[in-house]
Amino acid sequence: MKISEKKPSSVIDASGLILGRMASAIAKRLLEGEKIAIVNADRAVISGKKRSRVGKAKKFLEVGHARKGPFHSRRPDRIVRRTVRGMLPYKQFKGKQAYKRLRVFIGVPETLRHRTMEVLAAAHAERLKCPYFTIKDLAEEIGWKASE
């Protein structure tokens, strides 16, 4: 499917935004019927000490079976997408329809470069008083290899 087939009504730049706050705000907008594209997903931040968060993520990855699942993603865009899915009533029809209206990208795709990008002020990392790190750092620690 091409990006141009389903043009998003909003493009949100995730650079420097707190993952959970951003995800909850986006989930509300998706349930209202808005189509949203998130760009620079790898630059969103997670609050807390990197060492403890990476330890929790690695422990979570041990759950399941290699062939039978549940399968856990290591890519930054998929981590962000899954976080938004956790904020939606995904098992209901309206939640599945809302989830289909979401697109998440690492970096900015060529088709969305000319669009104006929103920044959610309520989710900005400058508000944090604790340590934080990017999703890209987390993904690389748990086994994602960026292909550049």
Q: Which two tokens stand for residue 139?
A: 């993904």
What is the Cα–Cα distance from 110 to 32, expressed in whole angstroms?
A: 27
- H or E stretch including 34? none
Q: Distance (Å, rounded) from C-alpha 25 to C-alpha 4?
A: 24
Map tokens 């986006």 to a residue: 26
Q: What is the rounded distance in angstroms from the CA atom of residue 52 to the CA atom of residue 68?
A: 28
Give the whole-angstrom CA distance, residue 88 versus residue 137: 26
- How much is the pLDDT for 2? 53
Of 14, 31, 122, 2, nearest in space to 76 by CA: 14
pLDDT digits (tens, 9 = 90+) for 90-122: 999 999 999 999 999 999 999 999 999 999 999
The beta strand positions in 33-142, using DSSP E, are: 36-39, 45-47, 102-104, 132-134
The confidence band for 134, taking pLDDT boundaries of 50, 70 and 90, is very high
148 pLDDT band, cuts 50/70/90, is low
Per the CATH hierarchy, to which homologous superfamily does domain 11-141 belong? Ribosomal protein L13 (3.90.1180.10)
Global confidence as pTM: 0.91
Q: Which residue type does 53 have?
A: R
